[in-house]
Structure 1
Amino acid sequence: MIEYITPERIANSIMQDSTFSGYYLIVEGTKDYKLYNKFVTKEVSIKEAWGCEKVKELIGILKERDFEKVIGILDADFSVILEETIESDKIFVTDFHDVEVIMLKSTALLNILEFFCGEKKVKDFIGDRNVFDILVGLGYEIGLLKLANKLYDLGLVFKPEKLEGNPLKYKDFISEKDLSFLGRDSMIQTVTNYSRNRTGKVSTTENIENKLEVLSKQSYDLLHLVNGHDLTNILFILMKKVLKSTNKMLHDYNSIEDALILTYDNCEFIKTELFSKLYLWSREHEVNLFKQELVDQVKEKASLPLAN
């Protein structure tokens, strides 16, 4: 019933809660909650707003009501590529497209690969290659398609209407045999079939191909183009079908994202620009935002002598 939880209702619940006097951190959804909750103190209450625009709207409502004890974190999505800025000093944005890309570009990726599939299987398949680069390379085309859909209103849909709905079938354009990309035609056909009867009008295959061709001639920062949910779906194919993991905890891409959240640690988080900006903000505003062990690691890192 997430669709019925409006920013107004969340704002009302925040302002009516007399039992909590700390700061509120507004995030987009449950997985953001799970991740950031690992790092913040009990003096911070995390609230899901259920979407990027709802985070902005909620913080705007609270500002209008002169409620100051609130900040938000948003996925960057395509904002860097489209040169979009957020006019709020209370909203912070992820380094890359989303938190999943941040976690995948860390030691957490190899850790969960070896946990689910075994070190030997992983090494035999990966060899001297970088597994993150493999995922990004495969996520490029659908990332480009999502960007084209945003820019040209192609009427495409990439996720189910409800959480329990049927997901997009990545296996129809990413090979379950060797993880190869099965071609742009297969991808477009899969997404257009998935989108039919879900939006007002799905663009023609020819128009979609033309728009993709135009965008493919541009140079984009891949870490802002690729979508983390696409990468984790591709990673699921790698683990389950290509490497044939028999781990019973590996159900779908959600299992992978949960494993990333569990594995992603303080050492990785403090490397991000997002952490640096939040840490500086917390010091300037004298807010006890992060857990002490995280703060201690920052202080220890700062005190280390520089290498020659």
Structure 2
Amino acid sequence: MFEDITPEALAAEVLFLRAQAPESSIVLLEGDSDVRLFQSLLDVDIGNLVNCFGKENVLRTIDLIDQGGVLAIVDADFAAILKTGYTSQNIVQSDFHDFEVVLFNSGALDRLLTEDGSREKIRAVQKTKSVRELLINSCLHLGCLRLYSQTSGSDLKFKGLRYRFFGRKLKVDPDEIVKEVFDHSLKHTGHDEAKAFIKNFSFSTVDPNQLVCGHDLIAALGVALQSLIGSRNAAHCAVPELESKLRLGFAREDFAKTRTYADIVAWEQRNPPFRVLH
């Protein structure tokens, strides 16, 4: 099935949708979670939210059909750190590394912690740092390893990680991160180069929210809710469940504060009569 989802097939779907409703906006998204997030934030018929099953498909489809009324919304990934961008004005991206990091930095996290966290444990953590700082700090080295994988062409595998290196207290050892990721990737060489990249990386020169991956942050949140900031059962701290709660807690008022929202407003002004916002 997925082999049939090519940029050419997606472009044909977009042209079909355009023929059916010439003045309706069409939004290209990376995956299921993005469709679930934006269907409540945008004033676009669910049928016009096109799941492209990956960022590369989104970008290649826009290359094929770069016209008014077709908007692509993508994760920024490492764009801010690598100083990369897009020539098309029909592409907008997340404020931070991905939209999960945007949710994490919004009131959605505070609402989740009110429901699932322990007030006493959170207060104890906050004597030294905020919950956000605790979680972000636990994911910095892993984010750096993701950056290393991308820039070095190492093709490390992160999907399906068990995150054993977190431990109950989220005190991570960079060497343990490298070992788990390389073992998960079935790679037996390159450990030293990856460790050196992390050791020599200037963490103080980048915005942590551009370096960490939202999926990793939410995995760390799940660990913390079981011990450091809560007493939840592991079964209720799975990443998909927590991601769903953050999406549900992300209000339109939160979205309106983002740069993505401002960029969409600017896109609408350039593309009358097409609208995607309420």
**TM-score normalised according to structure 1 size:** 0.82
10-19 vs 89-98, which moves further = 10-19
Contact kept, 8 Å, 2:100 with 2:243, in 1: the verdict is yes
Native 8 Å contact 2:75 2:97 kept in 1: yes
Q: 2:28, 2:70 within 8 Å by CA — same for their partners in 1? A: yes
The 2-side partners of 1:118 and 1:2 are apart by: 42
Unmatched tracts of structure 2, length 5 or more:
none
2:142 paired with 1:151: no
Identity of aligned residues (%): 25
Structure 1 residues 108 and 218 mapped into 2: Cα distance closer, same or farther (>3 Å)?
closer
In the TM superposition, what whole-angstrom CA distance separates every residue of 1:206-249 from its partner, at most 9, and x where no partner exists?
A: 2221222222477222111111111011111111354221496x
Q: How far apart, CA to CA, are the structure 2 residues paired with 1:135 and 1:215?
A: 19
1:23 aligns with one of 22, 25, 48: 25
| 2:167 corresponds to which of 161, 175, 198 | 175
- Structure 1: give runs of 5+ residues left out of the alignment: 160-166, 292-308
Task: Specify whether residues 263 and 3 from structure 1 end up closer, same or farther in structure 2 by C-alpha distance, changes over 3 A only.
Answer: farther
Partner of 1:289, secondary structure, is coil
The residue that corresponds to 1:244 in the other structure is: 231
Choose the corresponding residue for 1:276, options 259, 262, 273. 262
**What's 1:90 paired with?**
90
Q: Which has the higher contact order (CA 8 A, sep 6+)?
A: 2
| 1:250-293 CA-partner distances (Å, limit 9, x unpaired) | 251111111110000011111111101111221342323212xx
Residues 138-179 of structure 1, C-alpha deviations (whole Å, 9 max, x = no match): 1111011111111222342111xxxxxxx2011x21122x22
Shift of 1:46: 1.0
Q: Does the Cα contact within 8 Å between 1:154 and 1:202 map onto a contact in 2?
A: no
Per-residue CA deviation, residues 43-90 of structure 1 (Å, 9 max, x unaligned), is: 572111111111110111123xxx532010111100111111111110
Please list, as runs of the form range in 1=range in 2, the aligned pairs for 1:28-177 lying within 5 A after superposition.
28-42=30-44, 45-63=48-66, 68-127=68-127, 129-159=129-159, 167-170=160-163, 172-176=164-168
TM-score, structure 2 as length reference: 0.90
What's the RMSD between the two structures over aligned residues? Answer: 2.1
Q: Which amino acid aligns with 2:183?
A: N
Aligned length: 273
Tell me which residue corresponds to 1:164: none
Note closer, same or farther for the CA distance 1:229–1:179 as it changes in structure 2 (3 Å cut): same
- Please state whether the residue corresponding to 1:129 is helix, strand or coil: coil
Partner of 2:76, secondary structure, is: coil
Instruction: Please name the residue that 1:190 is paired with.
Output: 180
